[in-house]
Structure 1
Amino acid sequence: MGRSNRSRKRRDEMNKIKKDRYDAKELIRLKKTLGLLDADGKEIKMEIGEVADIKTSKEIKRAAKSKEQQELIYEHQESLEKGKPIAQVNEKTGVEHVYNSKTLKDQFGNYPAWFKKKKTAKRLRKKQHAQKKNFKQAWTTVNVPL
């Protein structure tokens, strides 16, 4: 057998009353944590700017964009730097490998045993992304008609 609508309506009414009571308590608790209420429970008049930093969506987007540009510039500068050669002898074969500190490749073009393929691919993708962002084609920057 199903429940009657009469009991459901009564339950909904009681839940509304309970929700109002809990909402009021929660609001007081939030105001206390923000420091908008003193020990006696009286409200302290404060500006919103004193409680929290207010930023518009444009400011947030600008900050994110500038941070991304700084990362790309850093990656591009890093890609222009040359690595230092580091010599290492393989204990099993006795062959000397000269690794580049930047690319981590040896003179044969191989990565060290501890360097994983996924990590290598991720590193290369980042490097290529930085190069694409800073790429300027000569004919578009030099010979642009007005």
Structure 2
Amino acid sequence: MGRLNRSRKRRDEMNKIKKARYEKKELIRLKKTLGLIDADGNEIIKDITDVAEVKTSKELKREAKSKEEQELIYEHEENQEQGQQVATLNENTGKEHVYNSKTLKDQYGNYPPWFKNRKTAKRLRKKQHSQKKNFKQAWTTVNVPL
């Protein structure tokens, strides 16, 4: 059986009124917790900028981009440094592998058995992109094909 629309409309109207009343109370309660209003209801701080720093979504995206750029630059510089040679013996084959501590590759160009390709594929793509010939700082990971 269907519900009566008339009673639903009345309920919605009453809920709107109740919601408006509770929003005012909630706003006052929030201001008290932030310290913008004292116990009597008098405003202490008129600007929220003194309490919190307001940022737009564009500013947050720019900051994230700059962090990614810094990571790329750091990885590029890190790759330029020479790593240490670490020799390990493979128990299954009996061959000795000499791994580079920076690139994690052995003398044959292979990664160690614990190295998971799926997990680190994104990081490797970023690293390879940063090593390209015409790498520019403005050109960031947003445009890198994943």
Name the TM-score class by shorter chain. Answer: 0.7 to 0.9
- Unaligned regions of 5+ residues in structure 2, if any? 137-146
- Unaligned regions of 5+ residues in structure 1, if any? 137-146
Query: Which has the larger displacement, 110-119 or 62-71?
Result: 62-71
Root-mean-square deviation (CA, aligned residues, Å) is 2.7
Instruction: Give the corresponding residue for 2:68.
Output: 68
Instruction: Give the corresponding residue for 1:24.
Output: 24
Question: Structure 1 vs Structure 2: percent identity of aligned residues?
Answer: 76
Distance 1:3 1:93 in 2: 75
Q: Which has the higher contact order (CA 8 A, sep 6+)?
A: 2
The reply on whether 1:79 has 2:79 as its aligned counterpart is yes
Distance 1:2 1:55 in 2: 47
Computing the radius of gyration from Cα coordinates, the structure with the larger value is 1
Distance 1:119 1:56 in 2: 32
Cα deviations by residue, 1:9-37 (Å, 9 ceiling, x for unpaired): 32233212211221111111111122111
Contact 1:99 1:105 in 2 (8 A): yes
TM-score normalized by structure 2?
0.73
Contact 1:72 1:133 in 2 (8 A): no
Contact 2:105 2:112 in 1 (8 A): yes
CA distance 1:122–1:63, change in 2 (3 Å):
closer
CA distance 1:8–1:83, change in 2 (3 Å):
same
Instruction: Give the corresponding residue for 1:36.
Output: 36
CA distance 1:41–1:133, change in 2 (3 Å):
farther
TM-score normalized by structure 1?
0.73
Report the number of matched residues.
Answer: 136
Cα deviations by residue, 1:125-146 (Å, 9 ceiling, x for unpaired): 121121238537xxxxxxxxxx
